[in-house]
Amino acid sequence: MTKLTDLTIAEALKGLKNREFSAVELTKEYIGAMEEKRGLNAYVTETPEAALKQAEASDEKYRRGDNASLEGIPLGIKDLFCTRGVKSTACSRILDGFVPQYESTVTQKLLDAGACFLGKLNMDEFAMGGSNETSCFGPVVNPWSKDVKLVAGGSSGGSAAAVSAKMCAAATGTDTGGSIRQPSAFCGVTGIKPTYGRCSRYGIMAFASSLDQAGPIAKDVRDCALLLKVMSGYDVKDSTSANVDVPDFESFLGQTIKGLKIGVPAEYRPEGLNKEIASYWDKGLEMLKARGAEIVDISLPHTKYALPAYYIIAPAEASSNLARYDGLRYGLRVSGKHLDDMYINTRTEGFGKEVKRRIMIGTYVLSAGYYDAYYLKAQKVRRLIRDDFKKAFEKCDVILTPTSPVTAFPIGDKSMQENPINMYLNDIFTVSVSLAGLPAMSLPIGLSTDGLPLGLQVIGKPFDEAAVFKTASALEADAEFGRK
Ligand code: GLN
């Protein structure tokens, strides 16, 4: 028997409209799943009472017939989003006890569309990480784990795990260098990072402002389309949000991809690329070819500089953004003999190791003596990477790559704990897209021989999410990954 938690958002909306079940019933099932699967550590704050109240209001709206587009759909919210009256911590001790007085634009839009919020989801501290292990609440367990507990990916690990384990209908995520796409791939779910500027960053705690973007993580491509439509749009409160039309993303699903040109970047197939991942990549290309798409070889020659550039620019912006956590304004305060002491004590206790590392790197590359050598250079490389994509997109409409060079690895993996660079290397396929500000979706394509999900990434031109949705829906239909 299918449970209500098995339904996609599109299916649930139908059931709600036809009064087959109520929003309260749907919400209660998700609350049950949250309780049953607490061991995954996906939620850091649960708000079942508020969710039920919202669901009751939704049921009333269905009765009156003035239901909104996501009326009664229970969502999980990454803890990086400020939610009014609900603890929002970025999974950092420094925001211990912080309860925002305002709502982020993206979550407000979801509320206005009738969604209800089940709680706040675990993540890497301030979204810095790729395994959800830097969270002050501890790691999220990947629902696909067997004997050994595996990471859910990061930084939106709680979001991906909660969707995968059906502890919410869908979730919000954010992506600075891969944080929506990589955990989606690790957990066998679908997530899209839209074009930079598509969603407002207002009320999302800043990590690297020129890279941060919100996006949905959902059970399938259609649900991503439904959610992204609601989450997108110009916002006067975010000067980098783009004043462009928001198309009905759902309308592109199932459209023909005949003649669509799919770019395959040579640089993304280094020697030693995991064979299974390479073979699923080829299978994906075959599927698209069989539907009449044309495969074109492209080159993104500056790919090898993307990781170093990202790991200069992101920490530089982070070091500046995180200067506001001084013990005076939000969350934690650890007293000291005088003001400077208080700053030092608060930041020493409040930030975890990875966040401190990034603040140190960031302040270093921005310091007077090194600014030109590192930060300015990285900015120039960023432009070259963007130009690579621009050139490539003269030859193709979308680009297909793997999402990650690896599948989910064990929690506490030594090689990555001992040398953070090994963790950073996992971001190889996602950071260039972020540096170029492009839209990209990760969707599950199949399982490894170990039974772990593998994801493919569809990259589009700026504000051409349409082509991404078109391509992804074709792949999804052919891959028949299903909702295993
Ligand atoms: N893993 C990358 C990092 O650690 C990306 C994180 C993100 O997208 N928020 O910075």
Please give the domain boundaries of the chain with CATH numbers for all domains.
4-256 (3.90.1300.10)
**Could you say which residues of the chain have pLDDT below 70?**
482-484
The Cα-based distances of 222 to 8, 213, 240 in angstroms read 9, 20, 27
CB distance 212 to ligand 1 below 6 Å:
no
Q: Given this model, what pLDDT does residue 482 score?
A: 67
Distance CA 189, CA 119 (A): 19
Closest CA to 322 of 212, 210, 213, 208: 208
CB distance 133 to ligand 1 below 6 Å:
no
CB distance 178 to ligand 1 below 6 Å:
yes
Ligand 1 midpoint to CA 154 (Å):
7
Nearest CA to ligand 1 atom 4: 129
155 is catalytic: yes
* 3-class DSSP state of 149: coil
Q: Given this model, what pLDDT does residue 389 score?
A: 98
The strand pairing partners of 170, in sequence order, are 75, 218
Q: Is the dihedral of CA 297, 437, 362, 360 positive or negative?
A: negative
| Pairing status of strand 116-121 against strand 43-46 | antiparallel
Phi, psi angle pair for 402, to nearest 5°: -65, 160
Distance CA 318, CA 96 (A): 19
Distance CA 51, CA 268 (A): 43
DSSP label of 439: -
The Cα-based distances of 29 to 48, 111, 144, 224 in angstroms read 11, 20, 21, 21
Phi, psi angle pair for 83, to nearest 5°: -125, 125
Which one of the listed residues 92, 104, 179, 319 is annotated catalytic? 179
CB distance 179 to ligand 1 below 6 Å:
yes
pLDDT digits (tens, 9 = 90+) for 382-424: 999 999 999 999 999 999 999 999 999 999 999 998 999 999 9
Burial of 349 per CB tally in 10 Å (0-12, 13-18, 19+):
middle
* 3-class DSSP state of 145: coil
CB distance 129 to ligand 1 below 6 Å:
yes
CB distance 128 to ligand 1 below 6 Å:
yes
Phi, psi angle pair for 18, to nearest 5°: -80, 5
- CA 102 vs. chain centroid, Å, equals 22
Ligand 1 midpoint to CA 314 (Å):
9
Which one of the listed residues 28, 78, 87, 109 is annotated catalytic? 78
CA dihedral 161, 162, 167, 173 (to 10 degrees): -160
179 is catalytic: yes
CB distance 127 to ligand 1 below 6 Å:
yes
Q: What is the DSSP string of 277-339?
A: HHHHHHHHHHHHHHTT-EEEEE--GGGGGHHHHHHHHHHHHHHHHGGG-SSSSSS-----SSH
Ligand 1 midpoint to CA 478 (Å):
30
Which one of the listed residues 92, 155, 232, 434 is annotated catalytic? 155
Q: Are the CB atoms for 70 and 110 separated by under 8 Å?
A: yes
Q: Which of 128, 186, 423 to mutate to test the pocket of ligand 1 (most atoms within 8 A of CB)?
A: 128
Phi, psi angle pair for 121, to nearest 5°: -105, 145
